[in-house]
A and B are shown apart, each in its own frame.
Chain A
Amino acid sequence: MRQGTVRGKILANSALILMLMVGATFYSGFASFELAQSVEVLFRNDLNLERLQGTLDETETSFSEYLRTKSSDSLKDFIWTSTQLANEARSLNQQSIQDPIQLLQRDLSRVLETYLLTAEAGIEAKRGRDIPSYAERFDTAGRHSTYARILISDLKSRFLSQSLNAFSQYRGLIPGVLLSNAALVLAAALLGFSVLLGYSRRLTDPLSRLAEAASAVGRGDYDTTIPTLESGDEIGTLARTFSQMQRSVQESFQDLRARGEVERNLFEERMRVMELGHKLKDAEMLALQTQINPHFLFNTLTAGIALAGTEDATRTSAFLENLAIFIRYALNPPDRFVVVADEVECVNRYIWLLRLRFGDRFKFDVQIAEAILGVEVPALVLQPLVENSVGHGLADREKGGHILVRGIREADHVVLTVRDNGVGMGAADIEATLSEAIDGDKTLGHGIGLKNVIRRIHLSTDGRGTVELVSPGVGLEVRILLPLHLEGAPT
């Protein structure tokens, strides 16, 4: 039986109370036993004294009978009774003890001894026919016998008096004993009641709280607080187990929620892939359309060139030829790599078309180092920059506009620069343009060609190629730095 259990505690308390009561009851019972023993002692002492007196009487009778008749029977009787009297006398106290009854017993024993000695002397005198002597012995023995009777009587009365006194004291204490017994029983009963009351509360209080928590969990409130019980009894074990169960349920639900989230994300991903698939198909359709349209456009332009040739419209023929070549270059896939010479030719044709349109409004300079003409770079990076300068930087400038296109080698980099003397860009705009271009912001609007170039360089060079925008107050310089050897570029 574990002491920590509720049952153990209740049993321990009950056992303690029971032991106290049993102990007190046994103690009272022992006192009652001693009372009975005392009564027995009282009667036994009285009986012994009565027997002693009877033996003395018989001895006296046989003694006087022998002195009177000198018969052998009376002598035999005397010997028998006197021996018995001597034995009984010896059974009395012989010691000097400061106790009235003990001393009286000692007196009696000695007086009886004296009596027997005197009587035996009288018997001897009778047998010797010494008449005066046995007569005197008879008288003397009679006196000693009287003293013995006095002592026996005194002993009886003293013992009775002492016993009565003891019984009176005992009787006087009985109400107190009964009262204390009643108080003992009452206190034990009330204590037991209090302990049970306390335990019932200690049992029902945590059980009620556990029941409330269990109801809450049953309603689905798995986050409800389970009462903390530190006791080592069954209720504490129940609370801890219930708390563990709650945690297990909470963990299971968290797992389920996480799994649901994953499945939802997976579903969304699938949806997105499907959507992309749709878009891809749309793009393919669009691509087919764009493949159809250039053929039509080239055929039409070729027809225009032939028409211009038959009509001797040399300038128109050159225009259409340059336009057709430019469009073919521009409509090829933009993620391809081309040599710098191709880029320069595209820019020159585009500039030729712009001069046709704007006349002397803008001045163009193209300065490309021979050393980089064969270096491969992403296609279509210079023309959009020139277009951006014309369309934005110099849009409001009626004349004096200047665009410089440069290409040089710096260490192991190719540096392509397009600079104008237009309105330029603020620092915030530069930062926003670079950030939007890198993040792939497809917002249409101002500088879309510039952003397109920046992003394509970033993507096609895996970030090794960079674009810098410099606007020192007047104009804008777009500076493209490309490694000489790019991975993914055809060698």
Chain B
Amino acid sequence: MFTTFRKISWLFTVLFGLALVGATFMNVVMVGQARKALEEGILGGKNAPPVLEYHVALVIPDTADSFFEGLNEGVLASAAKSAVAIQTFRYRSSVPEDEETSFQLCLSAHLDGIILYSGPDGDLGSRQTQARAENVVFVPVGSLAPRKTAQGFIGSSPLLQGIESGNELTRKRGNSARIGLILTSVGEASPPFDPMFQGISVAIQSYPGAKIVQASRARPGILSGEEAASVMLRSDPSINVLVCASAPITEGAAQVVVDQGRVGQVLIIGTDETPTIDRLIDSGVIVASVVRDSHKMGAEAVQAFVQEKKGTLFSKVVEFGFTIRGKKDPAK
């Protein structure tokens, strides 16, 4: 009886001792996490971040576009390897003055460099002159090199993007393609003058029956693609291919096609790659996506800055190609 009681007593002691140690450990961990949240968020971490050699601003639109996310990531990844501190300024794409204000603010702060995404209308030449006057390295990034000459530029060619999209859609529809093209909010006022429109036109030249029957520019905002696609399909039910110029437009258009139950009837050729687009491609809603390598563009922009700081003037136009993201072959 005594032995049994002693065993039970010891068992409880060991059990509750372990529970006490566990609870203490849990308490320390939880309190530690809470302290860490305060330290990192407000008080500043115990380990001060290293002081870097350069301070560069990345100025990009606040559009929820994977292209800019990729660009931002590419810049940060390359900057981390080159002792460059990156400060990201997001200007409102719907307010044209914001881009210039951000640029001027960076000049006023006398940063070491400015990597700026600009549409084709941006006066990059003037900005480059202003920046050099303030001894600031200016690296413009965009889809298309602006008409106003810039000595250096990093971008992807919308014309090539249009050609790639055209090739993809003719591979599916051939002569029967009736194309609706939804362009981004930034660009030429008249869609037929947009390089992407022209690229598609070039690609379908060999298919006499294929035709761009609708082309419009989406408004800024994440729901713009859905709105533009809905209007387009309602106004011309014969459209059997939708070509979308950005990731948000692609996701919105896909939503419309699914809602209207026209998956398979209306093919979607999208742009860029997001988890949603990947899922829609794999489920067959989107036929293919022309992916711009914005990550590489960002990295290249940082390297251009570093090279100019070392004395090599950034003066060339660098254009990155595309990859086609289609449905994966289940057999593979």
Using a CB–CB distance below 8 Å, which chain A residues touch chain B?
Answer: 17, 20, 23-24, 27-28, 30-31, 34-35, 37-38, 41-42, 95-100, 102-104, 106-108, 110-111, 114-115, 143-144, 147, 150-151, 162-163, 165-167, 169-170, 173-174, 176-177, 180-181, 183-184, 186-188, 190-191, 193-195, 197-198, 201-202, 205
16 examples of A-B residue contacts, CB within 8 angstroms:
A42-B42, A96-B112, A98-B80, A110-B109, A144-B108, A147-B109, A151-B105, A173-B34, A176-B30, A180-B26, A184-B20, A186-B19, A193-B16, A197-B9, A198-B6, A198-B13
Within B60-116, the residues touching A (CB, 8 Å) are 79-80, 85-88, 101, 104-106, 108-112
* Per-residue contact bits, chain B 49-65, to A (CB 8 Å; 1 contact, 0 not): 11111110000000000
A191 touches B55 (CB 8 A): no
Known contacts A147-B104, A194-B9, A114 near B109 by CB under 8 Å: yes
Known contacts A194-B12, A194-B16, A95 near B51 by CB under 8 Å: yes
When chains A and B are docked, how far (Å) is the Cα of A176 from the Cα of B43?
22
Instruction: Provide the residues of chain A in CB contact with B23, threshold 8 Å.
Output: 180, 183-184, 186-188
* Per-residue contact bits, chain B 1-27, to A (CB 8 Å; 1 contact, 0 not): 010011001101101110110111011
When chains A and B are docked, how far (Å) is the Cα of A188 from the Cα of B88?
51
Minimal beta-carbon separation of A189 from chain B (angstroms):
9
Majority DSSP secondary structure for residues of B touching A:
helix
When chains A and B are docked, how far (Å) is the Cα of A253 from the Cα of B52?
96
When chains A and B are docked, how far (Å) is the Cα of A35 from the Cα of B38?
7
Instruction: Provide the residues of chain B in CB contact with A96, threshold 8 Å.
Output: 51-55, 85, 112
Which 8 A-B residue pairs are closest in the complex by CB-CB distance? Answer: A166-B41, A169-B37, A198-B9, A191-B16, A180-B27, A183-B23, A187-B19, A187-B20
Name the one of A24, A42, A104, A111 contacting B24, with C-beta atoms under 8 angstroms: A24
When chains A and B are docked, how far (Å) is the Cα of A176 from the Cα of B27?
8
Within B187-229, the residues touching A (CB, 8 Å) are none
When chains A and B are docked, how far (Å) is the Cα of A27 from the Cα of B104?
48
When chains A and B are docked, how far (Å) is the Cα of A143 from the Cα of B2?
89
Instruction: Provide the residues of chain A in CB contact with B121, threshold 8 Å.
Output: none
Instruction: Provide the residues of chain A in CB contact with B28, threshold 8 Å.
Output: 24, 27
Name the one of B19, B26, B37 contacting A191, with C-beta atoms under 8 angstroms: B19
Using a CB–CB distance below 8 Å, which chain B residues touch chain A?
Answer: 2, 5-6, 9-10, 12-13, 15-17, 19-20, 22-24, 26-31, 33-35, 37-43, 48-55, 79-80, 85-88, 101, 104-106, 108-112
Number of A-B contacts (CB under 8 A): 177
When chains A and B are docked, how far (Å) is the Cα of A83 from the Cα of B13?
69
Chain B, residue nearest A104 (CB): B87
When chains A and B are docked, how far (Å) is the Cα of A100 from the Cα of B104?
19
When chains A and B are docked, how far (Å) is the Cα of A264 from the Cα of B108?
127
B30 touches A162 (CB 8 A): no
When chains A and B are docked, how far (Å) is the Cα of A53 from the Cα of B50?
29
Instruction: Provide the residues of chain A in CB contact with B33, threshold 8 Å.
Output: 169, 173
Minimal beta-carbon separation of B123 from chain A (angstroms):
17
B108 touches A170 (CB 8 A): no
B42 touches A41 (CB 8 A): yes
B38 touches A38 (CB 8 A): yes
When chains A and B are docked, how far (Å) is the Cα of A57 from the Cα of B187?
40
A198 touches B10 (CB 8 A): yes
When chains A and B are docked, how far (Å) is the Cα of A191 from the Cα of B42?
38
A98 touches B86 (CB 8 A): yes
Minimal beta-carbon separation of A49 from chain B (angstroms):
15
Instruction: Provide the residues of chain A in CB contact with B15, threshold 8 Å.
Output: 194
Minimal beta-carbon separation of B14 from chain A (angstroms):
9
When chains A and B are docked, how far (Å) is the Cα of A150 from the Cα of B30?
38
B31 touches A107 (CB 8 A): no
When chains A and B are docked, how far (Å) is the Cα of A205 from the Cα of B6?
10
Minimal beta-carbon separation of A124 from chain B (angstroms):
20
Chain B, residue nearest A185 (CB): B23
Instruction: Provide the residues of chain A in CB contact with B41, threshold 8 Å.
Output: 38, 162-163, 165-167, 169
Minimal beta-carbon separation of B245 from chain A (angstroms):
30
Name the one of B16, B35, B55, B79 contacting A106, with C-beta atoms under 8 angstroms: B55
When chains A and B are docked, how far (Å) is the Cα of A392 from the Cα of B309?
156
When chains A and B are docked, how far (Å) is the Cα of A188 from the Cα of B21?
9
Minimal beta-carbon separation of A43 from chain B (angstroms):
11
B31 touches A177 (CB 8 A): yes
When chains A and B are docked, how far (Å) is the Cα of A106 from the Cα of B108?
12
9 more A-B residue pairs beyond the given contacts A177-B30, A183-B22, A194-B9, with a C-beta to C-beta distance below 8 A: A35-B38, A96-B53, A97-B49, A166-B42, A173-B30, A188-B20, A198-B9, A201-B2, A201-B6
When chains A and B are docked, how far (Å) is the Cα of A107 from the Cα of B20?
51
